[in-house]
Amino acid sequence: MKKLLMIVALMGMSLFAQAQSKSVASLYEKYKGTEEFFHLDLAGSFFDFAEGFDIDFDEEGMKAIAKSVERMKLFKLPVNGSEAKADFKALAKGLKKEKYELMMELSEKDSEIAFYSKGDDIISDLVLLIGGDDDDSHLVIELEGAFESKAIASSMP
């Protein structure tokens, strides 16, 4: 019985470790062979990385989020205009199918930001979509880790 519980626990931990969105991974795979594709993938303790660059987190909520980040994936779409907007719409639709919730959405004249999360009290994955009308301004940022939803809410404007 103990072995069965141990196996189930290990399987659950491996599923939690693979929290990355399939929709984000699919969009990443679509463009990864493109010459103009910029991406950054950081793993490990993000807070230690930020301290190395002397980044100051003023708010406790931001400090808690930074300490909780296990991996950060950032990439800029190598396309623009209607093609980038269509990719963002498809990504948002895919995130909703994966049971991500739209946590916050900001929109101005020529830019838009959407913040998606997966989980309730403890959030396992955050996806930030930053888009605009400019040619070089379509970014996808995914943060993996275990985030307390209260810490995230307190750090938002």
Instruction: Determine contact, residues 38/75, Cβ cutoff 8 Å.
Output: yes
**How far is Cα 126 from Cα 113, in angstroms, rounded to an integer?**
13
- Cα 126 from Cα 117, distance rounded (Å): 5
Task: Provide Rg for the chain, Cα atoms.
Answer: 17
User: What pLDDT digit, counting tens, does each position of 115-144 carry?
Assistant: 898 887 778 888 989 887 665 578 999 988
**Residues near 126 by beta carbon (within 8 Å), at least 6 away in sequence:** 103, 115, 116, 117, 118, 142, 143, 147, 152
Q: Is residue 6 part of a domain?
A: no
The boundaries of the domain holding residue 130 are 21-155
E strands in 4-88: 38-43, 69-76
134 falls within a domain: yes
Please give the share of the chain, as a percent, with pLDDT higher than 90.
18
Q: Count up the domains in the chain and report the number.
A: 1
pLDDT in tens, 51-69: 555 555 555 555 666 667 7
Inside any domain, residue 9: no
Q: pTM above the 0.95 mark?
A: no
> Beta strands of 9-121 (E only): which ranges?
38-43, 69-76, 101-107, 111-119
The CATH number assigned to the domain holding 120 equals 3.30.2030
